[in-house]
Structure 1
Amino acid sequence: MNGYPWAAFGEGVGAAAAAALAVMLITFAVACARGLHRIVDIAWGAAFALVALVSYAVSSGEGDDARRLLVTVLTVVWGVRLAAHIAYRGRGRGEDPRYEKMLSGARGNRNLYALCTVYLLQGALVLLVSLPVQAAQYIPGPLGPVAWVGAAVWLVGLAFEAVGDWQLARFTSDPAHRGRIMDRGLWSWTRHPNYFGDFCVWWGLFLIVCDDPVAAAATVAGPVVMSLLLTKGSGKRLLERHMADRPGFAEYAGRTSGFFPLPPKRAPRADG
């Protein structure tokens, strides 16, 4: 099949699976010791970073060195930034209400339930979503124009995510804004600049694989699954359900794009 080293790629997937599983099991042990399952959110970004590093290590001598280094660095930068941001944001806080609600309905041992429904599931998702990062390590040809477009899309995504998180942190740190909806900066163009940023990051990483159409077709499930998670799963949909009853949210949602950045709608003019 088009000269792609599928056997080596398969072995790399096995190594990546072991890395993702190790991160989740270590995080689970720490979470049980602390009685705080919210730290699994920190492991999400960290697991992607480790998968990229392991994939880079085990693919030595297989693919184009420039592509291998590019996709690894981009993934590690994204994963480490996300993990550090979530760790800083959650310092000193108790359990996340999402996990508290989920685990309150558990039958039997809560920790075992969390292991199966949170940690192992997230580990499997890390493995699936990161397939383009793993596949890029084995593409022998040099980087083409589409790959560089992918790097540019990744950069746009990281900027949206990092700037959006910074703007939100500044807004919420001001006591005068307590209880108010963040509707400034990037948040006036999209209700979820951080999720849109993730969307761009993973489609950008996928484009780096597209120099090999067969490898791209085999791994397109990665960005598709991430997109569904961001828009229909634990991202936008779940967060907006949680915020729906907050004062001012309906008005904010009425004038602000739900996902893709667009100029905010003008408030209707009162007749006079």
Structure 2
Amino acid sequence: MNMLEALGMNFALLVIIMIVLWLISIRIRDVSFIDAFWAYGMAIMASASFVQTDNPGTLAYTIWALTALWGIRLGTHLFLRWRKEGVDPRYKKIMGRAMEKQGMSFARAALLKAWAMQIPLLFIVCLPAQLGILLAGADGLSLVSIIGTVIALVGIGFETIGDMQLKAFKANPASKGKVLDSGLWKYTRHPNYFGDFCAWWGIWLVAAPMGWPVWLAAIGPLFLSFTLMKWSGAPLLEKSLKQNRPDYADYIERTSGFFPMPPRNAANK
């Protein structure tokens, strides 16, 4: 099977899974678990690519393992959070607007405002992993791939620690209404998003020795970076936090918005 056929099989699999999940979301009237599938879906696309690869070598195994580790860890974290907290207010607002102002049924809103738009975005963001695995064959790791592996592992570790610190903070009743500004959150307001950034640029770098198809697939981590820093990631979250936490404005003044840096003090403002 050639590369385009393999990618086509991956895309068809993604569409089928999305349809099934859409039907589930209609039944439970909640699309919030889509965030968990965003991560799981990346692992599934990498795995689908891997099983279509003849005689995979160390490079293919490494790309698959990094993507699976990132996807399963984050997907499980988000799924368990959804099971505990229920409907995500962001999606409740999106669905409510579509149903009330645009006259959509829940099923149509869920399809058009959530599941359908996620299919091409997930597929594109995951292209470096898919192409890297499909093109790697029996190749081993180059120096560039080793550097990428280190960056990806740092990102996965950074994100995991950040999520653990936030979970512990939320579990403490004394934290209600306060801002987490210790641990990794002392150096960046979004350690989890920075971890995603490193993980996917690292995976792209691991696969980069496979040539121009992977180089063009940089559109995946580029889009993810834009999403995290400028679109639905940090900006949307911070808009809500500034409204609900009085101390958040001061936290913004002293803490880096994305890339980890030493906190600013009053003298440095």
Same-fold call, TM cutoff 0.5: yes
What's the offset of the Cα at 1:59? 2.1
Are 1:43 and 2:41 matched, yes or no? no
TM-score normalised by L of structure 1: 0.92
Are 1:124 and 2:120 matched, yes or no? yes
What's the offset of the Cα at 1:266? 1.4
What's the offset of the Cα at 1:77? 0.9
| 1:139 alignment partner AA | A
Measured in 2, the distance between the counterparts of 1:268 and 1:25 equals 55
8 Å CA contact retained: 2:156, 2:195 = yes
Query: What CA deviation, in whole Å up to 9, does each residue of 1:26-47 have, x standing for no partner?
Result: 2212211111111111111111
The residue number in structure 1 matching 2:217 is 219
Measured in 2, the distance between the counterparts of 1:143 and 1:204 equals 13
Query: What CA deviation, in whole Å up to 9, does each residue of 1:76-101 have, x standing for no partner?
Result: 11101111101122224332111111
- Structure in which a larger fraction of residues adopt helix: 2
Query: What CA deviation, in whole Å up to 9, does each residue of 1:89-129 have, x standing for no partner?
Result: 22243321111111112122122122122111112111001
Are 1:59 and 2:30 matched, yes or no? no
Query: Could you tell me which of 22, 36, 43 is aligned with 1:28?
Result: 22
What's the offset of the Cα at 1:207? 0.3
| 1:47 alignment partner AA | G
Mind listing any 5+ residue stretches in structure 2 that lack a counterpart? none
What's the offset of the Cα at 1:251? 0.2
Query: What CA deviation, in whole Å up to 9, does each residue of 1:124-144 have, x standing for no partner?
Result: 111001111111121344321
8 Å CA contact retained: 1:150, 1:203 = yes
Query: Could you tell me which of 231, 236, 240 is aligned with 2:238?
Result: 240
Measured in 2, the distance between the counterparts of 1:111 and 1:181 equals 37
| 1:131 alignment partner AA | L
The residue number in structure 2 matching 1:251 is 250
Q: Give 4+ residue runs of structure 1 displaced > 3 Å after superposition.
A: none
Give the number of equivalent residue pairs.
261
Measured in 2, the distance between the counterparts of 1:83 and 1:147 equals 25
Measured in 2, the distance between the counterparts of 1:217 and 1:84 equals 30
The residue number in structure 2 matching 1:3 is none
What's the offset of the Cα at 1:19? 2.5
Measured in 2, the distance between the counterparts of 1:174 and 1:249 equals 18
Measured in 1, the distance between the counterparts of 2:233 and 2:86 equals 21
DSSP 3-state at the match of 1:23 = helix
The residue number in structure 2 matching 1:146 is 144
| 2:145 alignment partner AA | A
DSSP 3-state at the match of 1:105 = helix
Which structure 2 residues correspond to residues 95-106 of structure 1 after superposition, within 5 A? 95-106=87-98
What's the offset of the Cα at 1:189? 0.2
Which structure 2 residues correspond to residues 52-201 of structure 1 after superposition, within 5 A? 52-61=46-55, 64-106=56-98, 107-137=103-133, 138-140=135-137, 141-201=139-199
8 Å CA contact retained: 1:21, 1:123 = yes
DSSP 3-state at the match of 1:190 = coil
8 Å CA contact retained: 1:24, 1:40 = no
TM-score normalised by L of structure 2: 0.93
Measured in 1, the distance between the counterparts of 2:54 and 2:231 equals 36
| 1:186 alignment partner AA | L
Measured in 2, the distance between the counterparts of 1:84 and 1:198 equals 15
8 Å CA contact retained: 2:95, 2:113 = no
8 Å CA contact retained: 1:257, 1:264 = yes
Are 1:12 and 2:3 matched, yes or no? no
Comparing 126-135 and 18-27, the one that deviates more: 18-27
